[in-house]
């Protein structure tokens, strides 16, 4: 009765921005990002990438409620960088990693199918 529709999990409604953030008033170089209609798929992978950044002091994410489809991502950085910069950098790095993974997979796949074709004799 109170359950939201399934499409709410991935359809961003009108007027709501996909990602927004609020700086922390009490701590310098800290911000909380709210990503709408996303879940652990993005939250975990971005958090893991942020941990690999040496300028990031703190990075964590949570789903405030399982029936509210958004994630809160909190980032603290050193003064060498800013949370926004770290966030975008992490996403760019992940993009490159996925490109690399895709290329390697395609190479290995071509090698495998090539080997299979010669083995069929």
List residues binding another protein (CB under 8 A).
Answer: 6-7, 9-11, 17-21, 23-26, 28, 33, 35, 38, 41-42, 45-46, 84, 87-88, 91, 94-95, 98-99, 101-102, 105-106, 109
Least distance (Å) between residue 118 CB and another protein = 18
Smallest distance, another protein to C-beta of residue 84, A = 5
- If 0-12 CB within 10 Å is exposed, 13-18 middle and 19+ buried, where does residue 56 land? buried
Which residues pair with residue 68 across a beta bridge?
A: 65
Regarding beta strands 19-23 and 30-36, do their DSSP bridges make them parallel or antiparallel, or are they unpaired?
A: antiparallel
Closest CB to another protein among 21 and 72?
21
Q: Which of 39, 119, 32, 120 is nearest to 76 (CA)?
A: 32
- Choice between 58 and 98, CB closer to another protein: 98
The total of other beta-carbon atoms located within 10 Å of residue 96's CB is 9
Least distance (Å) between residue 65 CB and another protein: 18
**Shortest distance (Å) from residue 55 CB to another protein:** 16
Both tokens of residue 6?
């399934």
Give the integer Cα–Cα distance in Å for 115 and 100. 23
């Amino acid at each position: 009765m109170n359950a939201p529709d399934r499409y709410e999990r991935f359809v961003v409604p009108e007027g709501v921005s996909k990602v927004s953030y609020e700086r922390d008033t009490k701590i310098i170089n800290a911000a909380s990002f709210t990503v709408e209609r996303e879940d652990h798929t993005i939250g975990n992978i971005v958090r893991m990438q942020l941990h690999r950044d040496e300028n990031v002091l703190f990075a964590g994410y949570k789903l405030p409620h399982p029936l509210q489809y958004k994630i809160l991502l909190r980032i603290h950085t050193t003064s060498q960088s800013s949370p926004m910069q770290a966030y975008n950098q992490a996403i760019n790095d992940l993009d490159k990693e996925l490109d690399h993974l895709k290329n390697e997979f395609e190479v290995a796949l071509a090698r495998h199918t090539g080997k299979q074709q010669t083995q069929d004799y």
